[in-house]
Structure 1
Amino acid sequence: MIVLGIETSCDETAVGIVEDRLTLRSNVIASQIELHAPYGGVVPEVAARAHLEQLLPTIDHALVEAGVRLSDVDAIAVTHGPGLIGALLVGVSAAKGLALAHDLPLLGVNHLRAHVEVAQLEHGELEPPLAALVVSGGHTSIVAMDADGRFRQLGGTIDDAAGEAFDKIARFIGLGYPGGPEIDRLARDGDPTAFRFPRAMAGSGDYDVSLSGLKTAVIRELRRLEAAGIEPDLADVAASFQEAIVDVQVDKTLAAARDQALETLVMAGGVAANSRLREAMGDACERAGVRLLIPSIPLCTDNGAMVAASGANLLAAGTTASLDLAVDPSLPLAG
């Protein structure tokens, strides 16, 4: 069973091909970083136009890399939400065209679920119940996957997503775009205890997090130092800021896993590529006796392989979509 997955929810034009649910055949990404870098963030209209230009060549590249033809493909999977509406429409329209032209089943994939299920390509079939931390530029959610495969929201950000906070602070201190990898790189030379930035909602008794106040605290401290004529070590700023984000994500996620008696944790999404978060979560899970599954870095960021893997699960369950599949920019993971 070969599934071709199309991902165009934001600023990566990506196509992946998966065989028999667990075997990755190809994973091709056409990046738009250079297009959006001058703006310091994703411009939706620019993203949608770039998807239009890049999608068909990316599909061709993925087929060649996988060593298959479209006639070998058994189904077309596509992200239909959440994401940018214009970007989603490009991918869904292309998927419908391929499905109709080649008489193939169409599979509508939830972008967030796909981030979790891509772990099966490297760690084998996921065995719920389990916990998952989905942490990216637009999402920070702590969820439970129950035995029936459905997701339950346990907690998440009440304001900024972790990736959004990384990007905003990176931009404020003059780093490049995307900000997450730049903060990660700079922080490796810094002291994470140099600044004691707030860990909001650390003792709230729930699994929710807040990052807006942290971002504001960093900006206020830098402005205070500037007014006093003090030039801060930006590596220390980056390390201290990153540590504050990591502390909250780790503590809240492990508390949720412990309280829900979940012995497996999947960490997924673009921010799951952050080296300090991977290290800290690994240490915390080892101490807690929780099995941690983290995709390799290329499978953390938006990619087509995750859509193909999630779509293959839908196909195996007999869950297909009709050609009137709609995009949903706010499609939830739980519920």
Structure 2
Amino acid sequence: MPFFNSLSPAQRRVLGWSALSLAALLLLWLLAPVLSPFVAATVLAYVLAPLVDRLARRLPRVLAVMLVELLMLLVAASLLLLLVPIVTKELPLLREQLPLLAGKLNDGLAPWLQRLGVPIAFDVPTIKAFVLEHFGDQAGNWLTTLLGSVRIGGSVLLALVGNLVLIPVVLFYLLLDWPQMMQRLWSLVPPSARARVGEFLGECDQLLGHYLRGQLLVMAALALFYTVALALAGFDLALPLGVFTGVAVFVPYVGFGLGLVLTLLAGVLQFGTLYPLLAVALVFGLGQMLESFVLTPRLIGERIGLSPLMVIFALLAFGHLLGFVGVLVALPLSAVALVALARLQRSYLQSGLYRG
């Protein structure tokens, strides 16, 4: 291969690592449905391994892994259970309040909009019939529909249940053998390249670890703030809404917007006045200022380089290409790409091409 022979050793290394990366992405794309539980367990193992290592200094590693995994399962179950009161309480309120709200809007807002040249009117009888049909006594038909969809898409349900069972099992063995696996992978790196590879992986680990730890602290602080603030504002669902909003901010802007909509809906259904609009605007405005000007700069920092827009783009792009697996590997691969681009930029600025 004349072209390959004409390259310098450094260019050959770059070409080889690029080909290896493309092959890995192609393999992920082809095997994404099968790899989902294994990739999810690997990402969780990377996050939880430091905690297991600390506990393993005082306890047998098997016991440390079991304690950490049990704690993770309890946290995940608690977060899922937070959605139950939101659904069970808002659906009956929605059935009762939505026709009344439509009538108030029709009597108060519609004439004002018509004076401004916007002809609009709410068909209150149709809205009431729709609500009674879908949220009334016939709501039990949802169970029949759900069971029918389960029979139709049984393979999807079985795959979901299988993944939920498989992920903890794979995670247990990954955490149990994590030091040995890292040592075996490190032994595959050529001795001549270990210094450079170690430095590169160290930068990636520091970048991603700092981001994840900082983001977890931001989520915990915001969950506490929103819970306390909504409770002081008189919201009945302050705890589930506050914790859900704090956790959802992991996806920048989208999580905040979803928490805002759910809280606004809960407030309107609970109070039936304009008070929740003012309360939600004040609470979420203060929360956004707290996140943007205090928590994120102090706990994550601008030097990380993973801006909110970059996080959203990475999640959407990798999710589109690789599905659920792409969402799981979006941040790790983004951190690797960011470190690689920073190194390429430093090499370019120090090269003769830049100096002319």
TM above 0.5, one fold?
Answer: no
Tell me: higher relative CO, structure 1 or 2? Use CA pairs within 8 A at least 6 residues apart. 1
State TM-score, norm by structure 1: 0.28
Instruction: Look at both structures and tell me which one has the larger radius of gyration over its CA atoms.
Output: 2
The structure with the largest helix share of the pair is: 2
